[in-house]
Structure 1
């Protein structure tokens, strides 16, 4: 199944890094987070990708254009100006790199790549989040639901510490970062049927996928939530990047390869 990845945004909340490169190219453990996301999908057999390019998209193009060479073991004979590949270490990915506009919103980016998805279901995610979501279970859930779109839902964690207190204000305990706030949010990792084109009619360039199209799907009962209770993390800020780097040095939950 083809996988569409949003990779065109400016990443302003992590501008310390995104001034120089697109947010999906910010590295975790020496590899772009985009690579980590693709490896998650590849672990489940999904190796055909459609990348929605925008801000500094040429950097993503150059990365994959030179990927084979940069990851191969090779011998170079300078005298004869020849090169021999000793071992190919590249993944068996097929990648379509599609220019979807510098300032196009996510609904517009998705609409612009629909001609490349074909008349068949596809997967969609963002180029800045990793998870240990079971993609086989997600796909089975989607097929059984009969809906146009399935979204992976994750439980939001609080960014701030919370207090547990009595009615008179006496504090009983502190909790630094409660992992379950009781609220479910969009975790990306969608499965979408080709009928989605009916929800992307007209000019979508200034429309967020997360607003009008998803609102219309909800209004018609055509979007479902696959509840994921385990690891999920989005790289929104420099602090998120540093936390992901620390995880990578140990046993990163999203590494399934």
Structure 2
């Protein structure tokens, strides 16, 4: 099943990193977060990727064009008949990556609309280039097929960023400095979609999370796959450092391909 990944935003809240590269190329350990996301999908057998490029998209193109070069030991034959010999293989050799320029200022719905021409199947996967999870992708696909809706959203309850106050009248009776989970579910950004979504996408200014998803919800066409395990976005430098610490410690929950 093909996987659409939004890679074109400017990532303004992570300006420390995105001034120099697109957000999906910000590293977690020694690899960009985009690689981690793709490894998750590949683990479940989904190795055909459509990357929706925009801001600094040429950096992502260069990364994949030179992937073999940077991940292999190499022997070069110089002179009038040059030759390159790669000495080792890597687990990503069966990936198929389509790099699509979807425009610098195009919104998420517009990017998805442009990507649909590369999808022949009735069902596909979609996500953002800045979030990680240990959710079972294939289980969410099976759930989507049972529900028979146009969209399935992975619903998550992220770790709370702020302290919870329990108040009675005007008095605080309990304070939890770092609550483990939010009470309400939010959109975790990992979707299963049917091609029928195309009729809800208008133009480049279409924001997927606004009119399309709002209309679909009103029509009862969105199912929620609840995931109470690990999920973390990378909106800020602090979150990038948190994910890097998890990776470097060998305790990254999203590293399902190594279990």
Task: Give the TM-score of the pair, scaled to structure 2.
Answer: 0.93
Q: Give the distance between the partners of 1:98 and 1:10, measured in 2 at CA.
A: 16
| Maintained 8 Å contact 2:159/2:180 | yes
Q: What's the secondary structure of 1:188's corresponding residue?
A: strand
Q: What's the secondary structure of 1:214's corresponding residue?
A: helix
Counterparts in 2 of 1:222-241, with a 5 A limit?
A: 222-241=221-240
Counterparts in 2 of 1:39-54, with a 5 A limit?
A: 39-54=39-54
| Maintained 8 Å contact 2:158/2:232 | no
Give the equivalent residue in structure 2 for 1:104: 106
| Maintained 8 Å contact 2:152/2:223 | yes
Shift of 1:120: 1.8
Q: What's the secondary structure of 1:227's corresponding residue?
A: strand
Q: What's the secondary structure of 2:182's corresponding residue?
A: coil
Give the equivalent residue in structure 1 for 2:196: 195
Q: Give the distance between the partners of 1:168 and 1:146, measured in 2 at CA.
A: 48
The CA deviation string for residues 180-200 of structure 1, in whole angstroms up to 9 with x for no partner, is: 332111101100011111212
Give the equivalent residue in structure 1 for 2:68: 68
Q: Give the distance between the partners of 2:23 and 2:182, measured in 1 at CA.
A: 28
Counterparts in 2 of 1:11-22, with a 5 A limit?
A: 11-22=11-22
The CA deviation string for residues 145-166 of structure 1, in whole angstroms up to 9 with x for no partner, is: 0101100011144321123455
The alignment covers a number of residue pairs equal to 254
Q: Give the distance between the partners of 2:209 and 2:170, measured in 1 at CA.
A: 42
C-alpha spacing 1:30/1:148, structure 2 compared with 1 (3 Å)? same
Q: Give the distance between the partners of 2:40 and 2:110, measured in 1 at CA.
A: 25
Counterparts in 2 of 1:69-84, with a 5 A limit?
A: 69-78=69-78, 81-84=82-85
Structure 2 segments unaligned to the other structure (5+ residues): none
Q: Give the distance between the partners of 2:87 and 2:163, measured in 1 at CA.
A: 53
CA RMSD of superposed structures (Å): 1.6
Q: Give the distance between the partners of 2:115 and 2:167, measured in 1 at CA.
A: 51
Moved more, 174-183 or 3-12: 174-183
The CA deviation string for residues 9-47 of structure 1, in whole angstroms up to 9 with x for no partner, is: 000000110000000000001101000000000000000
Counterparts in 2 of 1:14-33, with a 5 A limit?
A: 14-33=14-33
Counterparts in 2 of 1:200-219, with a 5 A limit?
A: 200=201, 202=202, 204-219=203-218
| Maintained 8 Å contact 2:157/2:181 | yes
Q: Give the distance between the partners of 1:39 and 1:218, measured in 2 at CA.
A: 30
Shift of 1:167: 4.2
| Maintained 8 Å contact 1:71/1:90 | no
The CA deviation string for residues 85-144 of structure 1, in whole angstroms up to 9 with x for no partner, is: 211225021000000010000000000111111142000000000000011110110000
